[in-house]
Chains A and B, each alone.
Chain A
Amino acid sequence: METNELKILWKTLAENSIVDKEIARENISRIINQKGSGLIAKIKKQIMFDYIMYLSAFIALPCVILFLNFVLQRPSNVLQIVGVFAIEFYLLSMFLKSRGKLKSLESSDHTGSIKNSLINFRSNYLKTVHREKSLALVFGYFIMTLAIVQFFVYKGSILPLNFSRPYDFFPIFLIFGMIFLPFVMKLENKTRYAKNIAGIDLVITDLTTEETE
């Protein structure tokens, strides 16, 4: 097929078939003035719901437990402490995931070249991933430290741990958790983000490499 043939075909295609529904002037005005319209805004709204839900639950759960302990005049037992911290960690990780998603949806500059936009997108995406990872680590360590302190407060003394009951292993388990947390995060990041980054890297490499005939 010759270039001219291709261009003629393209031109008739554009003229006859592409404009499927004209956008009226008043609709243009409505779209740009309406808050929260557009695809990204809709996606953001859905993620924002998760974000608020997980954050609220993360804050509310310990408050409810403390309130119940106060009302019932009964301290939590170790099993309850373990349960609450496990749920808290889950809520925290879900909250951070939603936060990362919101950040990665933030609007980018579309006035530069496509290559530059992709490079900026990649760098912002990596920053978001890194921030998410750091926050998860800080909060993760904070929760685990708090859990260990809670355990010993409940136990009433630091030593001795006689390991005769299963829950005496709880602090040991948490210390292992603290050691392995960065590795788990690294692995999780690899499975969640590596594919996305690799795809963008491929395109950037393609645009950066000079092709020869």
Chain B
Amino acid sequence: MENKFTELLYENQGIVHKICNLYFNNRLEKEDYKQELIIQLWKAFPSFKNQSKFSTWMYRVCLNSAIDIIRKEKIHPKFVKLENPEIHNLFETRDETSSNHEKLYRIINTLSDVDKAIITLYLDEFSYKEIAEIIGISEGNTGVKINRIKSIISKLFDNGNQ
């Protein structure tokens, strides 16, 4: 089981990096958060029954774990790591594309934890049905929420370009 898990995680590790950067980008010791996500994935792995794609299952567990860690940190504020301004700077080059990337990243980071999860899944081409299942809301509500988040992003993005 361990070998199978290691292999699947190795192939899909982009999800761990992505969730970690989205939820814990401003934290010191980001590696600790990655480790925590991997541990949570390993703990949950027995529940993976091949009923969905591994990446879908992995997104579900990673998003849940990330939101759970944030909740726990809010309850135990003395353990929240201090913000490190240097870590904000993921993009070293300053051409127009990287500036747009940075802007998009910053805008997504201003969203609530759940909205962040919804838009990440949407941008990663998950269907409304899959997003609805992961978040625990109806498909109709998913559509409405996505439109709302998209319009917030567009507005903030266009404002930033003006």
Contacts and interface: CB of A to CB of B under 8 A. Distances in A.
Interface stretch (A55-63, A169-177, A196-204): A196-204
Contacts of A117: 64, 67-68
Q: Is the interface of A mostly helix, strand, loop or mixed?
A: helix
Interface string A19-44: 11111110011011100011111110
A207 B36 contact: no
Contacts of A121: 68, 71
A14 interface: yes
Interface of B: 2, 5-7, 9-10, 13-14, 16-18, 21, 32-36, 38-40, 42-44, 47, 57, 60-61, 63-65, 67-69, 71-72, 74-76, 79, 90-91, 97-98, 100-101, 104-105, 112-114, 117, 123-125, 133-138, 140-141, 144-145, 147-148, 150, 153-154, 157-158
Nearest to A209: B141
Interface stretch (A82-90, A105-113, A131-139, A149-157): A105-113
B75 A196 contact: yes
A212 interface: yes
Q: Is the interface of B mostly helix, strand, loop or mixed?
A: helix
A39 B69 contact: yes
A38 B44 CA distance: 15
Given A1-B158, A31-B35, A118-B67, A12 B6 contact: no
Which of B32, B97, B153 is the most central at the interface, judged by chain A CB atoms within 10 Å of its CB?
B32
Contacts, number: 173
A89 to B, nearest CB: 23
A19 B13 contact: yes
A23 B16 CA distance: 10
CB-CB nearest 9 A-B residue pairs: A113-B136, A115-B136, A110-B64, A10-B123, A39-B36, A211-B144, A32-B42, A38-B39, A38-B36
Contact of B123 (A7, A33, A196, A211): A7
Contact of A32 (B18, B39, B104, B154): B39
A46 interface: yes
B10 A25 contact: yes
B122 to A, nearest CB: 9
A206 interface: yes
A123 to B, nearest CB: 13
A17 B90 contact: yes
A3 interface: yes
A115 B133 CA distance: 10
Contact of B137 (A11, A112, A207): A207
Nearest to A202: B112
Contacts of A13: 101, 104-105
A99 interface: no
Given A39-B69, A207-B136, A6 B104 contact: yes
A125 interface: yes
A71 interface: no
A1 B135 contact: no
Contacts of A203: 112-114
Contacts of A16: 101
